[in-house]
Amino acid sequence: MNALARAAAAEWLKLRSVRSTWWFAGGALLTMLLVAALEAKDTAVFLRKHGLPVEPVSSVVEGLDWVQLIFGSLGMLAVTSEYATRSIMVTLACTPSRTRLVLAKVAVVGATTFLAGGLVSVLGVAASAPVLRRYWEFDAGQVTGRILAIAAYLALVAVLALGLGTLIRRSAGALTMLFALLYVLPIGLQGLATSLNAEFLNTLAAYTPMPVGERFIAGEAASGLVLTAWAAVVVAAGLWVMRERDA
């Protein structure tokens, strides 16, 4: 095994050997099942009323607003829990290359959250199906594409949060930043656009992670690249800080 693969194997072992990982996974699943089942009817009626197509993932997309923060927390904790417990010292003793360590964490968190995200959305579709199937138009190819995009979205949010965790090192600060980036930034920019009468701020708001993610899930591949760029830039900034600052 090369050095990166060894570091990734260690990260995977660490991720699955703490109970909180499984609590997060269970929490995300339960949240998604509840929201998808309970929101199914309202979502379908709302979409119908506005002449929009009802898809099998429509209710799951509603659930993402809630579930993405759990995925983000999981990604962030892969770094911040190590600073909080000082076990980062042991991790860096084993893998002194900061670049290799961050890449290993990104790979493990990305792959895990992608698979978990896919599973959560498939089960979410199943949970909403009893109500939603009276409204939806089912296209197996389209559903598969949507679910893959949702899984990728959740994985990218988790990696973005991992980058914030590397940048800020503390859970509270990183989580606040994640919340601000996802929810506050687009609304704030839109508000500013109205009060300053500056249209370009609306355009800017449309390129923040969540609106970009919505368009990506709706089938816009280019938006997926913008979201990937967000995650890549934040991770790169975190890596830079990790290399410059003492552990």
Partner 1 sequence: MITLHGLTKRYGDKTAVDDLTLELTPGTVTGFLGPNGAGKSTTMRMIMGLDSPTSGTALIGGRPYADLDRPLRTIGALLDAKAVHPARSGRDHLRAMTVSQGLPSSRVEEVLALTGMAEGARRRAGTYSLGMSQRLGIAGALLGDPEVLMLDEPVNGLDPDGVRWIRTLLRSLAAEGRTVFVSSHLMSEMERTADRLIVLGKGRLIADEPMERLVAGSEVRVRGPRLRPLADVLPAARWTGPDELTVSGHTTEQIGRQAYELGLPLYELRAVESSLEESYMRLTADSTEFGASA
Q: State the residues that interact with partner 1 by CB under 8 A.
A: 1, 3, 6-7, 9-11, 13-14, 17-20, 81-82, 85-90, 92-97, 246-247
Neighbours of 80 (CB within 10 A): 25
In whole angstroms, the minimum distance from the beta carbon of 76 to partner 1 comes to 15
CA atoms within 13 A on the CB side of 49: 6
* Of residues 8 and 177, the one with the C-beta less far from partner 1: 8
CA distance 187 to 182: 9
Of 93 and 221, CB closest to partner 1: 93
Whichever of 10 and 143 has its CB closer to partner 1, that residue is: 10
Smallest distance, partner 1 to C-beta of residue 146, A: 35
Smallest gap from Cβ 53 to partner 1, in A, equals 45
Minimum distance from residue 32 beta carbon to partner 1 (Å) = 24
Pair of tokens at residue 63: 């659930």
**Under 8 Å CB-to-CB from 186, ≥6 apart: which residues?**
205, 206, 208, 210, 211
- Per the structure block, which two tokens stand in for 57? 């993932």
CB of 242 to partner 1, least distance (A): 11
Structure tokens belonging to residue 84: 């909080």
Nearer CB in complex with partner 1: 101/159: 101
Q: What angle do CA 179, 181, 187 make, to 5 degrees?
A: 95
In terms of CB distance, is 96 or 141 closer to partner 1? 96
